[in-house]
Amino acid sequence: MQQPSRRQALAGAAGVAAGLGITGTALAVDNGDSAADRRDTDERIDRMSLEEKLGQLFVVEVYGATADTEHEKNRELYGVDTPAEVIEKYQPGGVIYFDARRGTDNVREPRQMARLSNDLQRASRVPLIISTDQEGGSVVYRLTEPATLLPGNMALGATRSTSDSRESARIIGTELASVGINQNYAPDADVNINPANPVIGVRSFGSDPKLCSELVSAGVRGYHRGKVASAAKHFPGHGDTEVDSHLGLPEIDHTREELDRIDLPPFRAAIERGVDTIMTAHIVVRALDPSGDPATMSQPIVTGLLREELGFDGLIVTDALDMQGASGQFPPDEAPIRALEAGCDQLVLAPELDTAFAAVLEAVRSGRIPEKRVDASVRRVLRHKRRYGLFSSPYVSEDRAARTVGKRRHLSTAREITDRTVTLVKNDGLLPLSPKTKRSVLVTGWDEETTGALADAVSARSGQRAKAQAVDAVPSGKQIEAAVAAARESDLVIVSANAMASGEDEGAGQAKLVKALEETDTPVLVVAVRNPYDIQRFPSVPGYFATYSHGAPSMESVTRAAYGELNPGGKLPVAIVALDEPDKELYPYGHGLTY
Label residue 408 exposed, middle or buried (CB < 10 Å: 0-12, 13-18, 19+).
exposed
CA angle, corner 166, sides to 416 and 127, nearest 5? 120
Report the candidate in 269, 252, 76 with the shortest Cα–Cα distance to residue 187: 269
Distance separating alpha carbons of residues 499 and 482, to the nearest angstrom: 20
Query: In sequence order, what are the beta bridge partners of 466?
Result: 441
Residue 225, number of CB atoms within 10 A of its CB: 15
Active site residue 164: no
Half-sphere exposure of 47 (CA within 13 A, CB side): 8
Strand blocks (E) in 108-247: 129-132, 183-184, 231-235
Q: Please identify which of the residues 164, 188, 190, 319 carries the catalytic annotation.
A: 319
| Phi-psi region at 350: left, alpha or beta (left = phi > 0; alpha = psi -120 to 50) | beta
Q: Based on the residue annotation, tell me whether 246 is a catalytic residue of this protein.
A: yes
- CA distances from residue 164 to 159, 252, 593 in whole angstroms, order as listed: 8, 31, 20
Separation CA 212–CA 245 (nearest Å): 21
* Sequence-separated (6 or more) residues with CB below 8 Å from residue 76: none
Closest CA to 132 of 177, 71, 72, 80: 177
Q: Rounded to 5 degrees, what are φ and ψ at 344?
A: -70, 150
Using only C-alpha atoms, the chain has a radius of gyration, in whole angstroms, of 24
Return d(Cα 266, Cα 83) in angstroms, integer: 36
Is residue 172 within 8 A of residue 132, CB to CB? The reply is: no
Per annotation, catalytic residue among 68, 246, 322, 333: 246
Residue 452 to residues 363, 440, 445, 455, 467: CA-CA distances in angstroms? 54, 15, 10, 5, 8
Which runs of E-coded beta strand occur in 286-382? 315-317, 347-348
Active site (catalytic) residues? 246, 319
